[in-house]
Structure 1
Amino acid sequence: MSYMTQNIKIQDQEFILHPLGGVFWIEKSLLLISDVHLGKVGHFRKFGAAVPRKAVHQNFLLLDKLVSAFEPFQICFLGDLFHSSLNKEWQLFENWVAKTPAKIVLVAGNHDIIAPEKFEALGIEIFEELVLEEFFLTHHPTEHETLFNFCGHIHPAIKLSGLGRQRLRLPCFFKSKNQMILPAFGTFTGTHTLAPKKEDEIFVIVENKVIKV
């Protein structure tokens, strides 16, 4: 399967937006991913929801695709990496970390309630927020006077009108002047529709493509 990415320049740095929901910072060889919500499928199944078991593995397969596309030196998860407390998906995550050569860090989100020691045992550092050069990495959207904010939490989507009465709701990278909200990476995460202002730049994800609208 081929993916069509979108290149974008922010603060004189080059970034690639990938239709699986990641942002690759070329100069830093850093891959940003937000709101994977691992464990959510197991959480649903535990409470009787009819979610197929193979959905558990889907996130890891997609993470592998994203990582192999860029072979990043470092991966930064922008919060809500895990949806709930420990369940069977933690073991799958441990296996995934063991075979992923990139250094992994986590900017903690509101769902990240698993003990930090569990992450640290895997060599994953946890931060409340991170500043890298002119960029401010957070989970919740956070305005900063001088730094550009990459964040998640919102699971952004926008509504587009098609021919006739068609209304499409598409996940997107939502960029305002000093901020980009990443789409949720995980399956079964849901989306929240935002209304863009004139000056905002919207990059929708549709049919394995990232398209500026």
Structure 2
Amino acid sequence: MTPHLPIELEQTELWLLADKAIYWPDQKTLLIADIHFGKAAAYRRLGQPVPHGTTQANLQRLDALLARYCCAHLIFLGDFLHAPESQTPAVLAQLDEWRASHPSLAVTLIRGNHDRRAGDPPASLEMNVVAEPLLVGPFALQHEPDPHPTHHVLAGHLHPAYRLSGRGRQSLRLPCFCIGQRLSLLPAFGSFTGMMEVDADPGRRLFVVGDGSVWRVG
């Protein structure tokens, strides 16, 4: 297995992680896109039969990454909370408990479209909430995949995926990193999210994730 794959982007080393995140070693920073906390809770409040435990599962995956990689800063590239209905007592209690277990970790949220509707996280989570773009080194950290005039964009929002084709009609759709010349996309970190298929067009590299590994397909 290859739990992380180093790449060079804008003369900077980034690690593409098999758990759908990016680790930036020089900055000791973990980048997460589209975690959508409370999405299942929001759907249940609308009467939809959806799985329980997605918030806890996402937090456990996040904790595993924070334990594996030396992180001083965690940056969410938008869509931290899914909707106003996501702010249930149960979801907020889990988030408070998680935050209390990482008191020295700096956490930043770059507002995405769902955050603007859901509202900022409670002050108890001690998160620095900012508008996009957040300029760090050569990168413009954003939620929306809009070009930036001077910086390489790292964004979320689109939940990219690539379809692997096998024999006959067999195929498998997997989340992927889409690394372009001036704009790159992270897959959605949340375990209860949709995906948008992308192709391996000229000028961009695709790295799929699955079965605990990362590998290039285009």
TM-score range, shorter chain: over 0.9
Structure 2 residue identity aligned to 1:104? V
Structure 2 residue identity aligned to 1:149? V
% identical aligned pairs: 33
Counterpart in 1 of 2:91? 89
Matched, 1:172 2:170: no
Provide the C-alpha distance between the structure 2 equivalents of 1:3 and 1:38, rounded to a whole number of angstroms.
Answer: 27
TM-score by length of 1: 0.93
Post-superposition Cα deviations, 1:117-151, rounded to whole Å, max 9, x if no partner, equal x4444321111120012110000002123211110
Q: CA deviation at 1:3?
A: 5.7
Selected match of 1:163 from 152, 163, 167: 167
Structure 2 residue identity aligned to 1:142? D
Task: Show the 5 A alignment for 1:186-205.
Answer: 186-205=190-209
Counterpart in 2 of 1:122? 125
The answer for unaligned runs of 5 or more in structure 2 is none
The answer for unaligned runs of 5 or more in structure 1 is none
Note if contact 2:82-2:114 (Cα within 8 Å) is conserved in structure 1: yes
Q: CA deviation at 1:193?
A: 0.8
Provide the C-alpha distance between the structure 1 equivalents of 2:35 and 2:106, rounded to a whole number of angstroms.
Answer: 17
What root-mean-square deviation, in Å, do the aligned CA atoms of Structure 1 and Structure 2 show?
1.6
Runs of 4+ aligned structure 1 residues displaced above 4 Å come to: none
Matched, 1:107 2:106: no
Three-state SS of the structure 1 residue aligned to 2:174 is strand
How many residue pairs align between the two structures? Answer: 211
Three-state SS of the structure 2 residue aligned to 1:199 is coil
Note if contact 2:75-2:110 (Cα within 8 Å) is conserved in structure 1: yes
Provide the C-alpha distance between the structure 2 equivalents of 1:137 and 1:18, rounded to a whole number of angstroms.
Answer: 17
Task: Show the 5 A alignment for 1:2-13.
Answer: 4-13=3-12
Change (3 A) 1:47 1:114: closer
Q: CA deviation at 1:161?
A: 1.2
Selected match of 2:137 from 128, 133, 136: 133
Structure 1 residue identity aligned to 2:128? E
Note if contact 2:38-2:82 (Cα within 8 Å) is conserved in structure 1: yes
Post-superposition Cα deviations, 1:31-61, rounded to whole Å, max 9, x if no partner, equal 1000000000111222233323233311111
Note if contact 2:162-2:175 (Cα within 8 Å) is conserved in structure 1: yes
TM-score by length of 2: 0.91
Counterpart in 2 of 1:62? 61
Matched, 1:211 2:210: no
Post-superposition Cα deviations, 1:65-96, rounded to whole Å, max 9, x if no partner, equal 12112131000000001101122312211211
Provide the C-alpha distance between the structure 2 equivalents of 1:201 and 1:53, rounded to a whole number of angstroms.
Answer: 35
